[in-house]
């Protein structure tokens, strides 16, 4: 490569500051700063193009086009108690309670149609409600309806309760082995409303500002480069960031569960460039050289080398990252929540049974007095 441009090649280690960013006083840090201050002739940064960089640097033909995507925290697991509640959504729970009240009222009306049932278990709204609640819990009632119409309606309620219990117990068991997760973020609008902060490189701020995402920028924390931004999203789980698609592919490779969750719609497709000092005499030579690199396929080797280098740092980070397993075998600890739930259900049943006994004792005494 040095022979092709008729120049000696002196490779330098990247200075502190990563790719580099521009300060308010017009100076640059990092690799871009080395070129800007004439400490280097070219910066192999693969950095994105911005208005400031167009004014301050020359750049060779696009190195490649990258697919930039939004990375968001992966959804958290619901707690064990929340899993039980999440078996049905709020509308379904409200429908069950409403049907319980309506069913009790209909049962009361059917019972009062016949004289024989005026002294039975179903002669008040409270007793009908307790009986129907007992059926939902899978507990037998003290007395069966006497009339044909009330029996038919009672059997229909038993089947309805059986359907509810079957669905509830099935999903409860599945949630104990594979807990439910919060709703994932699927688009930019949901991301903005989520209240998450951002971890962004300073060079990305201009691009974000142009998209009208000022709320995210206000909650931004700067990081050295895109990869470290992605690490911050994984470890702290309260930020969003923008990274090339290849970074997420590397981090998620070989994982049963994704460590980085993405918004499927790409943020933008953006070309990357190598930068030279403004007015550099090497611009034309480097453009010719890069065309040769593409012709012989060296750019693929450069990309593979970069992936290999990044893979090592990513593997080191994964070793320090605590990864939650997506599957856990059933154990006594897993079933602890179920034990407490059943205990609570039996406790409610005992209270209802006690209230029924007290109620019928009072009812019998009042009948004897009459």
Residue 159 has pLDDT above 90, yes or no: yes
Q: What separation in angstroms does the CA of 139 have from each of 46, 111, 148, 349? A: 69, 21, 22, 8
pLDDT digits (tens, 9 = 90+) for 9-59: 777 777 776 667 777 787 887 888 888 888 887 777 666 667 777 788 888
| Cβ-proximal residues to 102 (8 Å cutoff; 6+ apart), any chain | none
- CA 156 to chain centroid, in Å, comes to 41
Does 68 or 330 have the greater pLDDT score? Answer: 68
What local confidence, expressed as pLDDT, does residue 314 receive? Answer: 59
Least confident of 169-183, 187-201, 222-236: 169-183
What pLDDT is recorded for position 93? 86
Check the CA dihedral 258-261-264-266 and report its sign: negative
DSSP 45: E
The string of pLDDT tens digits covering residues 1-13 is 666 666 677 777 7
Helices (H), the chain: 30-36, 51-56, 80-85, 90-111, 125-136, 148-177, 188-193, 202-210, 214-218, 226-236, 245-252, 283-296, 298-320, 336-369
- In angstroms, the CA 203 to CA 51 distance is 11
Q: What is the mean pLDDT of the chain?
A: 75
Q: What is the pLDDT of residues 118-142, one digit of tens each?
A: 546 777 888 888 888 888 888 888 7
Q: Provide, rounded to the nearest whole percent, the portion of the chain with pLDDT above 90.
A: 4
Domain ranges of the chain: 80-179+331-369
DSSP class of residue 117 equals G
Q: Are 315 and 34 in contact (CB under 8 A)?
A: no
Alpha-carbon separation of residue 310 from 170, 181, 183 (angstroms): 44, 30, 31
Q: How confident is the model at residue 192, as a pLDDT? A: 76
DSSP 247-298: HHHHHHTT-SS-SSEE-SS-SEEEEEEEEEETT-TTHHHHHHHHHHHHHHTH
Q: Collect contacts of 355-358 with beta carbons under 8 A, ≥24 apart.
A: 355/130, 356/127, 356/130, 356/142
DSSP state of 3: T
Q: What is the pLDDT of residues 294-348, one digit of tens each?
A: 777 766 676 667 666 665 555 565 555 544 444 445 555 556 666 777 788 788 8
Q: Which two tokens stand for residue 317?
A: 């980070």
Q: Which is more confident, 325 or 103?
A: 103
Residue 151 tokens read as: 């029996």
Better-predicted residue by pLDDT, 67 or 355:
355
pLDDT at 196: 82
Contacts of 60 (CB under 8 A, 6+ apart): 273, 274, 276, 283, 286, 287, 290
- The confidence score (pLDDT) of residue 147 equals 79
Asked if pLDDT for residue 205 goes beyond 70, the answer is no
Report the percentage of the chain scoring pLDDT > 70. 68
Q: What is the pLDDT of residue 99?
A: 92
Where residue 86 falls among pLDDT bands split at 50, 70, 90?
confident
Residue in the block written with tokens 């192999």? 44
Query: Which of 92-106, 229-243, 316-330 has the highest average model confidence (pLDDT)?
Result: 92-106
In the predicted model, is pLDDT for residue 359 greater than 90? no
Residues 160/161/165/167 CA torsion (nearest 10 deg)? 20
Indicate whether 146 pLDDT > 50.
Answer: yes
> How many Å apart are CA 354 and CA 270, to the nearest integer?
72
């Amino acid at each position: 490569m040095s022979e092709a441009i008729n120049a000696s090649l002196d490779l330098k280690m990247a200075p502190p500051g990563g790719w580099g960013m521009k300060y308010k006083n017009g100076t640059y840090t990092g690799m871009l700063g080395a070129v800007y201050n004439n400490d280097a002739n070219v910066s192999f940064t693969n950095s994105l193009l911005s208005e400031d960089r167009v004014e301050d640097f020359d750049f060779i033909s696009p190195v490649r086009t990258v697919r930039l995507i939004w990375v968001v925290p992966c959804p958290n697991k619901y707690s064990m108690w929340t899993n039980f509640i999440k078996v049905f959504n709020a509308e379904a729970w409200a429908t069950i309670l409403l049907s319980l009240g309506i069913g009790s009222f209909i049962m009361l009306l059917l019972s009062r149609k016949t004289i024989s049932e005026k002294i039975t278990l179903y002669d008040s709204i409270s007793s009908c409600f307790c009986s129907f609640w007992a059926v939902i819990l899978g507990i037998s009632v003290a007395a069966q309806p006497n009339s044909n119409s009330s029996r038919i309606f009672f059997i229909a309620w038993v089947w309805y309760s059986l359907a509810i219990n079957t669905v509830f117990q099935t999903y409860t068991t599945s949630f104990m082995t594979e807990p439910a997760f919060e709703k994932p973020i699927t688009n930019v609008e949901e991301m903005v409303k989520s209240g998450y902060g951002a971890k962004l490189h300073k060079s990305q701020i201009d691009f974000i500002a142009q998209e009208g995402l000022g709320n995210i920028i206000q909650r931004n924390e700067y990081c050295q480069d895109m990869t470290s931004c992605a690490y911050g999203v994984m470890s702290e789980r309260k930020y969003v960031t923008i990274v090339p698609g290849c970074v997420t592919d590397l981090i998620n490779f070989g994982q049963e569960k994704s460590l980085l969750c993405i918004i499927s719609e790409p943020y933008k497709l953006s070309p990357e460039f190598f930068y030279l000092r403004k007015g550099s005499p090497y611009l034309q030579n480097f453009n010719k050289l890069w065309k040769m690199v593409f012709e012989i396929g060296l750019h693929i080797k450069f990309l593979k080398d970069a992936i290999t280098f990044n893979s090592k740092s990513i593997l080191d980070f994964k070793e320090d990252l605590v990864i939650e397993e997506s599957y856990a075998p059933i154990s006594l600890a897993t079933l602890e929540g179920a034990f407490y739930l059943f205990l609570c259900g039996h406790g409610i049943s005992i209270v209802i049974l006690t209230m029924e006994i007290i109620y019928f004792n009072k009812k019998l005494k009042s009948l004897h007095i009459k």
